[in-house]
Amino acid sequence: MTESRIVRAAAVQIAPDLDRPDGTLERVLNAVDEAAAKGARFIVFPETFVPYYPYFSFVLPPALQGAEHLKLYERAVAVPGPVTQAVAAAARRHHAVIVLGVNERDHGSLYNTQLIFDADGSLKLKRRKITPTYHERMIWGQGDGAGLDVVETAVGRVGALACWEHYNPLARYALMARHEEIHAAQFPGSLVGQIFADQMEVTIRHHALEAACFVVNATGWLTDAQVAQVCPEERLRGACRGGNCTAIVSPEGKHLAEPLGDGEGILIADMDLALVTKRKRMMDSVGHYARPELLSLLHDDRPASFVHQPIRSKTAIRSLDHEQHAASDEPSLSGGHGGLGRDADGTTDQRVAVLRR
């Protein structure tokens, strides 16, 4: 029998502070204290919770978003910075792994960023949502493949995705292939209505089953007063209600506690990591149940670079010619056949492609 390893998880569904610049961080730290007092060692907060999810971008036309967008810039999080220092201290104090969603400011751009802090306070992963959804593209830049990673923490191997990234099967598979045991899912909550919550539940339960991992999902919450604040027009307020499904799901697709719908709360459940092996014994999507000779993922895991040095040496030019010649034999999205591309050192070329006959 696989040895039992119990990790107590907490999924936090609370409202942000839309008024005070440091108010949401205070709420985060208080929630960490509360969850840790209940024995939680893995704590997940909603998508871009600090300072708040940009609900305004869903209900205001672009011409009226300027002031709210600039306010978000002013309150956005520098990584590293005072917010990360405070959360790292809380993780260290409680010996807990914390997953926090923030609006990250990197000079002139904002990003939907997920931060994973280990129990010693170290920042193990900073990843940016690879494709903001619909209205979000007015607010955030795009992330890169470097963030599609799984990190070893005090509670196990942890990966994370934000919201509709869970509808990108290749992004999910990139984490599955790195053998995540615990998956942190983050959604904004208080958005779209009940259909959003229903779809969310299907999505996170399916990932738990397919990845054979635990999923800890946190969604945000807006009070009635905050809904009115975000939506001055009463007829639009339904767009900022519902859509909440804070949940903790086992590798067998079962809820480990009753999901949270409306209202604030902290969901607590114990995760027995022995269930990961129990599930994978029957169906390991990145092992004995996979067919890599038929279906494979190529993943460019290099950080985005905005400056490239020009090629100057003849040796480098010859190397580039060789790479271009090799690339002509690689499969592409438009068709073709052949094996996976290889780098000069023999490793698999990490770009996404679909193999077709």
Catalytic residue among 124, 163, 165, 180: 163
* Strand 247-249, strand 214-219: pairing: antiparallel
The one catalytic residue among 47, 104, 181, 210: 47
Q: Where are the alpha helices (DSSP H) in the chain?
A: 23-37, 56-59, 66-75, 82-94, 169-176, 194-211, 224-230, 274-282, 314-327
CB of 45 closer than 8 Å to CB of 28: yes
213 is catalytic: no
**In terms of Cα–Cα distance, which of 156, 82, 83 is closest to 118?**
156
Residue 44, both tokens: 């997940």
Annotation says 129 is catalytic:
yes
Is 265 buried (19+), middle (13-18) or exposed (0-12) by CB count in 10 A?
A: middle
CA dihedral 278, 284, 289, 290 (to 10 degrees): -170
Question: Would you state the structure tokens that stand for residue 23, as one six-digit string?
Answer: 């108010």
Q: Are strands 182-187 and 109-117 parallel, antiparallel or unpaired?
A: unpaired
Q: Active-site residue among 129, 180, 210, 231?
A: 129
Q: What is the DSSP letter of 63?
A: G
Alpha-carbon distances, residue 309 vs 112, 312, 324 (angstroms): 29, 9, 18
Helix axes 82-94, 23-37, angle to 10 degrees: 10
Site of tokens 């909550």:
189
Q: Number of C-alpha atoms within 13 angstroms, CB side, residue 100?
A: 32
CA 73 to chain centroid: 21
Q: How far is the C-alpha of 18 from the C-alpha of 16, rounded, in Å?
A: 6
Contact 353, 330 (CB under 8 A): yes
Residue matched to tokens 């956005």: 76
Tell me whether residue 181 is one of the annotated catalytic residues. Answer: no
Active-site residue list: 47, 129, 163
